[in-house]
Chains A and B, each alone.
Chain A
Amino acid sequence: MVVGELEENEADLLFHALADRTRRDIMRRIGEREQSISALARQYEVSFAAIQKHVAVLERASLVTKRVRGREKLVSGNVDALRRASRLLARYERVWRHRDDSIIRILNESEERTEP
């Protein structure tokens, strides 16, 4: 199974998305309330296109969702309990992989002991 790998890809997207100061700031602002991309762009000294690009990176990491209202695109936070549950279960899986490694080490020791 490639569960771990999928989670790793998801983590790559997440950490890349959050590795930028402006994007973290966007997350904070839309955490307060849903906003259009143009409203967001007005709060920064960079271009509309630059903000649009930042939002796209956040969207790929499933951190935000966009919906259309009239001529505007509204951006809102997308972190629900399920997302949190997936993340935590992936970490719990790693705990068991570690346990598995330790068990194998113990089993190998006892094998050596019983050999003549």
Chain B
Amino acid sequence: MTVVSSNPDRESLTMTIVCEFDATVDRVWQLWEDPRQLERWWGPPGWPATFERHEFEEGGASRYYMTGPEGERAGGWWRITAIDRPARLEFDDGFADESGEPTDEMPTMRMTVTLDGDDGRTRMTVLARFAAIDDLERVLEMGMEEGMKQALAQIDALL
């Protein structure tokens, strides 16, 4: 576990996660840049991601889908809004249909990733800003066991 801090802010619907890795900044940057590496960690548990398009440049677009345990697909898109190799990456992330085309032009969340290197180690700070609480809930629907999902739905209904 290398998550050094996490800071949820429920008023602004943001989450800041800081992780440290025993690797160079260039190496950690590759995890974002190379779609074959990215898809090995982007999807939530049980939902591996497949990036069919990944234009890693300012204004570039990505199209991906995640495959669930029953073979169901959940699509997503990225639009890269700023990139400063290998220190900073900003992109919007939104929901897409099964072919990866956006279902909504409005992003679900805005992500800002910064990498700071120090003597072969890298500190990665991820700031996720959600547009609305319902979007956050939808993001979390993936990767949850069916039973857990039902249990939570029941609790939500009760509340």
A: which residues have CB within 8 A of B? 1, 3-4, 14, 18, 24, 27-28, 31, 63, 77, 79, 81-82, 84-86, 88-93, 95-104, 106-107, 110-111
Contacts and interface: CB of A to CB of B under 8 A. Distances in A.
Contacts of A1: 4-7
A56 to B, nearest CB: 18
Interface of B: 1-11, 13, 15, 17, 19, 21-23, 27-28, 31, 37, 40-42, 44-45, 126, 128, 133, 136-137, 139-140, 143, 155, 158-159
A28 B44 CA distance: 33
Contact of B136 (A28, A92, A97): A92
A85 B10 contact: yes
6 nearest A-B residue pairs (beta carbon): A102-B41, A89-B8, A85-B10, A79-B159, A96-B17, A88-B136
Residue in B7, B41, B126 whose Cβ sees the most chain A Cβ within 10 Å:
B41
A31 B156 CA distance: 12
Given A28-B158, A91-B140, A96-B17, 15 more contacts: A1-B4, A1-B7, A3-B8, A27-B158, A77-B159, A81-B133, A85-B13, A88-B136, A89-B13, A90-B8, A92-B128, A97-B1, A99-B41, A101-B1, A106-B40
Q: Quick one: which of A79, A90, A106 has the most chain B CB within 10 A?
A: A106
Contacts of B5: 1
20 contacts: A1-B7, A3-B6, A63-B159, A82-B11, A85-B133, A86-B8, A89-B8, A89-B9, A89-B10, A89-B15, A90-B8, A92-B8, A92-B140, A93-B6, A95-B44, A97-B1, A98-B143, A99-B41, A103-B31, A110-B27
